Structure 1
Amino acid sequence: MTDQEALASVLDAVRDAVPTLRANGAEAEERRWIPDENIQLLDKAGVFRAAVPAAHGGLDLGVADQFKVIAEVARGCPSTGWLTMVWLTSTWCASLYPERAQREVFAGGSTRVSIVFAPTGTLAPVDGGYRLNGTWRYNSGVLGADWDLLAAMVERPDGTTEELVALVPVSELEVTDDWHVSAGAATGSCTTTAQDVFVPAHRVVSLEEAMVSATGDRENTGATGRNYGLLGYVLSGVTAAFTGIARGAYELFLERLPGRGITYTDWTDQKLHPLTQIQVATAANRIDAAEGLADLCLEVLQTRADAGEQPTDEEKAVIRGRTAYAAQLAKEAVELLYAASGGSVIRREVALQRFHRDIQGFSLHALVQRDANLEVQGRVLVGMDPGTYFL
């Protein structure tokens, strides 16, 4: 099966699952975690093999194809789309670990990995590895993950510190049921704690090296077409979730439109009103523009990876700005459609209100803060340095 045949198979199965994902939305929010049915449908579709290297039985899809998969899932359910983004991008991150670790993580060819970038733990060197202690909040997807990537600080003998990322089985961690939120409720982004967990050396890498796919002791180095710039790759997945949510909201708006009047006016069919037509066109163009910006980023990431290179710092800075602005455009499209939906849209059984709340919540994530990311992009556009190492 070629890459495109594999992609088509996954996308067809996900499209078939979209009605079920939408139907399960209210239940997912109520229980603060997506139903098992959602995971089973995506697993059967091959979604969780998308980022697994071919050498370990995965589909090994490129970043642009992964974007399509994430967006399609998000079109059905925002929280499930967000989780898919986390699981796929984190699974790719696991491919940066030594071969021994990869064999452990990818043993079944399908896996789910979560990640927390904030280094709120510590690693203490011991014989054969490290002892991990710490607490990590906002651990999206940990409730359904097999493995967890946790950033932590280690103190070296000379007194300097370094940020490392430990790869840990979720079964060795304590997960606290503390996710009570108004947006993204079904992501189950619970607090996770490690208490003196032993992590073997082959399951720990330097964040600095991982950021540029420069980790060693693995066979998949070089111009494989999959050694992306880490942050740009993750941000592309985030953007996929946003554009998918916006596409779903657009479809839900159009589904509710036929026969809807405009209360306290003579308009008996909202779609006949010129303002509604302008609003629909504006929303559609914002979504298309968001996808267009994302395509520019995806092209840079793939071109560099095919050549065995990393994007330049300037390119990375532009990717940060473009992905954040794409997310903003997607959010604005949903806001516009929500505002044009009348008072009944606030009812819990109307799925559009959940799409609206979820995209609002996701837009507060530090990775997609519009102004912070546009500042980074703007600095390089005017000839300055990016002002941050986090590229």
Structure 2
Amino acid sequence: MATNSEFTDLLAAVEKAHPLIRANGLEAEEKSRVPEQNLRLLEEAGVFRMAVPARFGGLDLGIADQGAVISEIARACPSTGWAMTVWLTGARMAAFYPDKAQEEVFAGGSVRVSIGFAPTGTLVPTEGGYLLNGRWNYNTGCHGADWDGLAAMLEHPDGTTEEFLALVPMSELSITDDWDVTSGSGTGSATTTAKDVFVPAHRVASYGEIMSTGVPGRWNSTAKGREYGVVPFIMSAYALMAVGVARGAYGLFLDRLPGRGITYTSWTDQKQHPLTQIQVATAANKIDAAEALSSKWLELLQRRADAGEDPTLEERAIVRGRTAFAGQLAKEAVELLQTASGASVIKRDVPFQRFHRDILGFTLHALAQVNVNMEVQGRVLLGLDPGTDIL
């Protein structure tokens, strides 16, 4: 595991790269992917070692520390922050595979693993493994990834089907540049395609195993205190990413205030207007409230992991609710500041508008939608079952 000084140095390196990463925001949007310079800066900082097990030279950071880094990256560039949530989750998932697969994925000690969660592929058994075919839309960060974890269906001899996840080097897949969107363009969530790609058996695991405790008999490469479950991990990463986006937007709003008046009024200094003061205070409190709420679910997950225990279904449902609610607070803060920004904020060379559009898009993701997650949490608070197995 990383020492406190290693984490502090990593976070400081990300903060130092902040101006360049933010300056690349327009390039990310225009090229529909995370810019190469962003990848290089983050690689040099050690970001892609965060979720790699220590035995492979990784930092194996705890969930709160990884979240803090994701948040700082998102403060500079929302799309790069979103891609980080996926790459780190993919690396965490890879640690649930057999040793041989882990040795391949983590060989370099630093790795980016994208994920295609929708089971839009098929696996057919062949000697030594499987043949993988399919197309995966919304494959975030695929251009910058080293590996891809792809969901596919396998038909058993009795006719039943089961979902599996196959780990495939990106070099064996093709990418269709079809990511043309109004939000999160820089995430590069394009379509990847596999055509008769051979996947050895050790790099194929059932969906249930990966989403719970991993393949039976694997060497426990993630040290005690690092097994949080896939859904709690990615939901935590999402929420802290959203907080980072909101903090970035808040800073950009304040940066634009000096010298701004309120057009068609006698107000020559917008920050002197009581409404602006109320809006800024409200936005700041929403962001701080979201971050404060994060401490509750992060403490729960870390406490369970330290004890070598899985969170209960009820606790997992509560994590889903709290993370989505934190994301909603972050979105509301950005929306509030956008209404106070004036018409000039819609210009493409004003970074704030990209933060606004991106967080609106991110909160539409199926796992992030606040009402869906509130229902899941509310059910368990009322003594009902969660109503979903995506926990």
TM-score category (smaller protein): over 0.9
Amino acid at match of 2:240: A
Gaps of 5+ in 1: none
Check the 8 A contact 2:294/2:323 in 1, yes or no.
yes
Aligned equivalent of 2:126 = 126
Aligned equivalent of 1:23 = 23
- Structure 1 residue 158: deviation in Å? 2.3
Check the 8 A contact 1:29/1:185 in 2, yes or no.
yes
User: Which whole-Å deviations, capped at 9, do the CAs of 1:181-238 have from their partners, x for residues lacking one?
Assistant: 1111111111111111111111011111122223234222687111112101111111
TM-score for the superposition, normalised by structure 2 = 0.98
Check the 8 A contact 2:56/2:107 in 1, yes or no.
yes
Check the 8 A contact 1:173/1:193 in 2, yes or no.
yes
Check the 8 A contact 1:253/1:337 in 2, yes or no.
yes
Q: What secondary structure, in the 3-state scheme, does the structure 2 residue paired with 1:258 have?
A: coil
Q: What secondary structure, in the 3-state scheme, does the structure 2 residue paired with 1:367 have?
A: coil
Q: What secondary structure, in the 3-state scheme, does the structure 1 residue paired with 2:181 have?
A: coil
Output the CA distance in 2 between the equivalents of 1:280 and 1:90: 36
Query: Aligned Cα RMSD in Å?
Result: 1.2
Output the CA distance in 2 between the equivalents of 1:5 and 1:276: 40
After TM superposition, the structure 1 = structure 2 runs for residues 1-391 of structure 1, keeping only pairs within 5 Å, are 2-220=2-220, 224-391=224-391
* % identity of equivalent residues: 64
Check the 8 A contact 1:223/1:309 in 2, yes or no.
no
Output the CA distance in 2 between the equivalents of 1:2 and 1:321: 30
Check the 8 A contact 1:115/1:149 in 2, yes or no.
yes
Output the CA distance in 1 between the equivalents of 2:258 and 2:46: 36
Give the length in aligned residue pairs. 391
- Structure 1 residue 2: deviation in Å? 4.9
Amino acid at match of 2:231: L
Output the CA distance in 2 between the equivalents of 1:222 and 1:103: 13
Output the CA distance in 1 between the equivalents of 2:140 and 2:102: 22
Gaps of 5+ in 2: none
Task: Report the more deviating stretch, 43-52 or 300-309.
Answer: 300-309
TM-score for the superposition, normalised by structure 1 = 0.98
Output the CA distance in 2 between the equivalents of 1:113 and 1:358: 22
Output the CA distance in 2 between the equivalents of 1:161 and 1:80: 36
User: Which whole-Å deviations, capped at 9, do the CAs of 1:150-189 have from their partners, x for residues lacking one?
Assistant: 0111112222221110000011111101111111111111
Check the 8 A contact 2:314/2:380 in 1, yes or no.
yes
Runs of 4+ more than 3 Å apart? none
- Structure 1 residue 372: deviation in Å? 0.8
